Amino acid sequence: MQQRLLGTTGMRVSPLCLGAFGFGQWGNPDHDACVAIVHAALDAGVNFIDTADVYSAGESERIVAKALAGGRRDGVILATKCHMQVEGDDPNRRGNSRRWITQACEDSLRRLGTDWIDLYQIHRPDPDVDVDETLGALTDLVRAGKIRAFGSSTFPASQIVEAQWTAERRARERFVTEQPPYSILVRGVEGEVLPTCRRYGMGVMTWSPLAGGWLTGRYRKGREVPESRRASIVPERYDITLPGNQAKLEAAEQLAFLAEEAGMSLIHLAIAFVLQHPAVTTPILGPRTMEQLESQIGAVDVALTTEVLDRIDAIVPPGVTLEVGDEGYVPPELTDPALRRRPALI
């Protein structure tokens, strides 16, 4: 695979990233099968692996460590994330504080069986923590040699900009990557997030290019909604009675016909669409089985014509997300009434 620069880091990565979300109890609990998937991806030219401490409560990181044992670690750009509660209910063991980031990084290094992490990412924004606190902790980890670079994940454009300006004013290292949700069905980031990343020279690794399975060809009109582990974790995203999900089903049906007319699988159409955005460095694949990996990895050789891209735009217009919950982050101002209502006057 022809490699791409990861933003301004100088690191070169494959145009497809292997995501380890589905390794472990959240997806495939067979460690040997997951290790085989990693090895197959590496043999196909993938050199970029993304995981997170929260994936199967650290099990994903341990599986990745097994797969990279025996001399494979040095040839891989390894990324992981922190922010979410991995275990227990201690409120200090989550979020973007210096205290937790420092501990979480040590925990990930141990589980991954490595001395350094190439890209350490903050999994979500934390409204309770000043971004300077977060950047300061991450900067110290870079200077200590424990991480090579760091990035954000699922940050709104305004917070990406705030972090860049804070880094400059406070002489911190800065976020050099962003990991947003992006697919044909989830195009909200096209309006501000992706242009903002381009302006700041940030690498972009997008999650869920298959829209959580909606663009695999399994979701078709007139068929039973397939069972999946994701549906058991976030059932609202697959509840076909909801208007947003009905819109996704209609779009998936039209896209399946378009892919057939273009002579490719819907999976290849969906991944190639993400690959062709000029701001995107690499989409993250999330196979749980070898069959899924094999069905996805060939998308790197697919180029969509202008006609096909125009027809995609007609089905789901640029900047449109059919179900807002698929964007992965809802600002607390929209969920906490106390942040948008003044106390009643007595």
Among the options 55, 120, 182, 219, which is catalytic? 55
* 263-278 CB burial, b ≥16 within 10 A, e <16: ebbbbbbbbbbbbebe
Residues 6+ apart with CB under 8 A from 285: 16, 17, 18, 19, 41, 209, 271, 293, 296, 297
Beta bridge partners of 203: 177
- State the DSSP string of 267-284: HHHHHHHHHTSTT-SEEE
120/41 Cα distance (integer angstroms): 21
* Tokens (6 digits) for 223: 């068929």
55 flagged as catalytic: yes
184/322 Cα distance (integer angstroms): 9
- Asked if 213 and 228 touch (Cβ cutoff 8 Å), the reply is yes
Beta bridge partners of 239: none
Question: What is the separation of C-alpha 254 from the centre of its chain, rounded to a whole number of angstroms?
Answer: 25
345/339 Cα distance (integer angstroms): 16
Helices (H) and strands (E) in the chain, counts: 12, 10
Residue 325 phi/psi, 5-degree rounding, is -65, -20
- Asked if 180 and 189 touch (Cβ cutoff 8 Å), the reply is yes
Closest CA to 85 of 102, 62, 104, 109: 104
* Tokens (6 digits) for 201: 């020279």
Catalytic residues: 55
